[in-house]
Structure 1
Amino acid sequence: MTNQIRRPSLVSRLFRRALVWIYRRNGWSAFGEVPEPRKFVLIAAPHTSNWDFLYFIGLTEDLGIMPHFMAKKSLFRWPWKNFMLDMGGVPVDRSSNQNYVQAMIDEFAKRTEFMLTIAPEGTRGAVRKWKTGFYHIALGAKVPLVVGMMDYAKKSGGLGPAIWPTGDFKADMAKIAELYAKVTPKHPGKKMASITGESET
């Protein structure tokens, strides 16, 4: 197995430093311990603003981690390929739900360290229920779900407890919903109505 570590380009490093500077300038701070081994699905929620990405980068810098994220493979072409890889992108074929779920399960099997970030809401707008692909990936890869939180009221964020998927989606999501009930997103009105019911993958 490999970690597939790469040295980011100068442009990517400068871009990341700029985001981290803004994060710290705005008074944000991180909390939580990084689970070991560093192989888990990191839930990024609630996702209601483009600012989430900026503060997410700052929080991961404070926590000393470099999570990965999925992106459609068409984005990994010149001139964006190296930048996407530097930022933690993993190319996937999104033409089929099963394609990307299995692809990520395979990535977990190949790597000794892989922290895959997924925003289950799939959009910054208000949603009724989460997509469930993140859950099927964790279940298939036999890795825990780690709750990633970003609280705009407190200007703090980080990692909650690791929750091992049992196969009982509703029961597991009820535990996660309880944790997120205490978090204030950038736009509270867009916060998801429910994360406990089944939805599309």
Structure 2
Amino acid sequence: MARWSGFLKPARTRYSLMTRLVRGVLLALFRSQRWTLDPWRPRSRKFIIIGAPHTSNWDFLFFIGATDALGIRPAFMGKHSLFRWPMTRFMREMGGVPVVRSASHNYVEQMIDVFNARDELMLVVAPEGTRKGAAKWKTGFYHMALGAGVPIVPAWVDHAVRRGGLGPEIVLTGNKAVDFARIRAYFEEKLPGHPRWQAITAGIDDDD
């Protein structure tokens, strides 16, 4: 287990006033925009959500609202320095999981440790890494899921028609080409012909 074992604990079950206020505002704003959400409910309580295409800062608002509606408590990775007092409790309650991003600390291994230590963890990752898109997806999420033995849950959003959705759970085979082809097929079905999907299966043999 990673030496950052103090990072493994989840947030408290009762939200602080600050967290309740922030979440309340975000959820009210999401509901006011009248999004249509594809119905789906998770079977597992531990998985990695991969959201795409990441084209707007409003993606965060959609995923907060969508996951709340689906009974999912999303988590995200954050640089460990962001979890210092007085922000420690707020960051954890919002779903933050602190990681040390340095050459000597493998963040993938850190997250595998967190998955193994918790009974519930629904981690959101944006594999494109940038709103501008990328030539290929980052594959850290894949190695986390494989190492922790958890499924991948694809999530998509279409701001033009205010529609999005999550699921189904994709259980990985360990064959990278096969797994990424399945992930791409899901996104192609939801948003056919989107130019971002080519990056999903590009460079999947690279180690990153």
TM-score, normalised to structure 2, is 0.86
| Kept after mapping to 2: 8 A contact 1:146/1:161 | yes
Following superposition, the deviation at residue 74 of structure 1 comes to 0.9
For residue 53 of structure 1, what is the aligned residue in structure 2?
60
**SS of corresponding position for 1:181:** helix
| Kept after mapping to 1: 8 A contact 2:187/2:197 | no
Q: Distance in 1 between matches of 2:132 and 2:189?
A: 20
Q: Distance in 1 between matches of 2:70 and 2:164?
A: 10
Following superposition, the deviation at residue 97 of structure 1 comes to 8.6
| Kept after mapping to 2: 8 A contact 1:9/1:83 | yes
Gaps in structure 1 of 5+ consecutive residues: none
Q: Distance in 2 between matches of 1:144 and 1:98?
A: 24
Q: Distance in 1 between matches of 2:37 and 2:103?
A: 36
For residue 124 of structure 1, what is the aligned residue in structure 2?
131
Q: Distance in 2 between matches of 1:40 and 1:58?
A: 18
**SS of corresponding position for 1:117:** strand
For residue 145 of structure 2, what is the aligned residue in structure 1?
138
Q: How many residues align?
A: 197
Q: Which amino acid aligns with 1:129?
A: K
Deviations 1:5-42 (A, max 9, x none): 43221111111111111111111132232322211111
Q: Give yes or no for the alignment of 1:175 onto 2:197.
A: no
Q: Which amino acid aligns with 1:40?
A: F
For residue 194 of structure 1, what is the aligned residue in structure 2?
199
Distance 1:3 1:11, change over 3 A: closer
Distance 1:119 1:200, change over 3 A: farther
Following superposition, the deviation at residue 4 of structure 1 comes to 5.2
| Kept after mapping to 1: 8 A contact 2:127/2:137 | yes
| Kept after mapping to 2: 8 A contact 1:32/1:160 | no
Following superposition, the deviation at residue 183 of structure 1 comes to 4.2
What root-mean-square deviation, in Å, do the aligned CA atoms of Structure 1 and Structure 2 show?
2.2
Q: Give yes or no for the alignment of 1:100 onto 2:107.
A: yes
Following superposition, the deviation at residue 78 of structure 1 comes to 2.4
Give the share of equivalent positions with the same residue, in percent: 50
Q: Out of 57, 63, 69, which is 1:62 matched to? A: 69
Distance 1:136 1:77, change over 3 A: same
Gaps in structure 2 of 5+ consecutive residues: 1-7
Q: Give yes or no for the alignment of 1:148 onto 2:149.
A: no
Following superposition, the deviation at residue 161 of structure 1 comes to 1.3
Distance 1:80 1:26, change over 3 A: same
Q: Which amino acid aligns with 1:27?
A: R
For residue 89 of structure 1, what is the aligned residue in structure 2?
96
**SS of corresponding position for 2:26:** helix
Distance 1:162 1:110, change over 3 A: same
